[in-house]
Amino acid sequence: MIDLLGTAAGAAVVFAATDIDDVVILTLFFVSARTTGRPRAWQIVAGQYLGIGALASASAVVAAGLLVVPDPWTGLLGLLPIALGIRALALRDGDETPTVVASTLGVAGVTIANGADNVAVYVPVFRALGAADSAIFLLVFALLIAAWCAAAAWLGGHPRVVRLVERAGHWLVPAIFVGIGVVILASSGVFNRLVDLLG
């Protein structure tokens, strides 16, 4: 028998714990959408669904034993937000807030890179769940993605947030993306793996 409320609550806790940092990135995307028109709001939402969907799907495949992911090497995905941040700094026009990402696939790519560590959490969870519980988890994830996007859209339209990004966004936004990439690389253990290979 499925404990519907317990399973849904567990799914909400797992999602919130692994995706709280996405709110910051999504907010930056929504501010960019309001100030530069890119990416469009629907591209942000679609990219978030695509990115989280890819992470959940990959985790389910790994949990089923159909694929083995070398954990430390997933940290190399941190190079994507670093590259986007450096590119935005290089292409920025004066004090104008740079457009770091301008498409659905770009948003999805950043979501996947930022959520690479989610796989380490999702895999054991999906291994422990049956098919029905897994379906509940995925439904809750889908609902919470919408809530995350709504919260970020609200924050992205808040006058203080918009003023901050307009005032300091030309360096703040790229710096946040570079910082996210460094954190992904550092927390994944990829640096230690490289040192072991070179040593």
pLDDT tens-digit readout, 116-157 = 777 777 888 888 887 788 888 899 999 999 999 999 999 888
Q: Choose among 51, 183, 63, 47: nearest CA to 134.
A: 63
Q: Which residues contact 26 (CB under 8 A, 6 or more apart)?
A: 44, 48, 148, 149, 152, 153, 156
Q: Which residues contact 41 (CB under 8 A, 6 or more apart)?
A: 30, 33, 153
Q: What is the pTM of this model?
A: 0.76
Q: Choose among 104, 103, 99: nearest CA to 84.
A: 99
pLDDT tens-digit readout, 93-123 = 655 556 678 889 999 988 888 887 777 778 8
